[in-house]
Amino acid sequence: MSGLRDVEVLLADRPGALAELGEVLGAAGVSLEGGGVFSHAGAAVAHFLVADADRAQAALQRADIGPVTVSDVVLLRLDQGTPGQLGQVARLMADAGVDLRVQYSDHDHRLVLVAHPEHGAACAAAAARWSGHDAGGSDEPGTGDAGG
């Protein structure tokens, strides 16, 4: 297991909300390993990959930033030079019955997947199949394992 987890934070719809999140996590010693902030219809949701999700969650809750949700992740590597791999991975997950909630990349060029909590094992199993296949499979053992 990677030990990395996704921290989801609903941010206030105002200037400075992201700055506060970054300042709070920085002051708590939490490093961001990937992620981003996405907005739709006036709501902003941050998703960041962190090694110490419990520390991140506690710091954000103390600062009254949130709500905060922590989720396990599945990491896998795509061949960045091969078009269509996201579609292939997403199809593999869909065919396995996995409801993907979030997808982004980390700072190590890996795909980060957050599945519906009930689908974590199926997501990890499908990722292991992907990692073992010939088209851009992982060069790292265990990147298909669910983090947490």
Residues 86 and 125 in one domain: yes
Q: Do 27 and 85 reside in the same domain of the chain?
A: no
CA 53 to chain centre: 12
Is there a single domain that holds both residue 48 and residue 58?
yes
Q: What is the pLDDT of residue 145?
A: 39
**Could you tell me which of 101, 106, 100, 117 has the C-alpha nearest to residue 140?**
106
Q: Which two tokens stand for residue 100?
A: 């993907």
| Number of independent structural domains in the chain | 2
Q: Is the residue at 55 inside a domain?
A: yes
- Pair 106, 92 in one domain: yes
pLDDT tens digit sequence for 1-34: 469 999 999 999 899 999 999 999 999 999 999 9
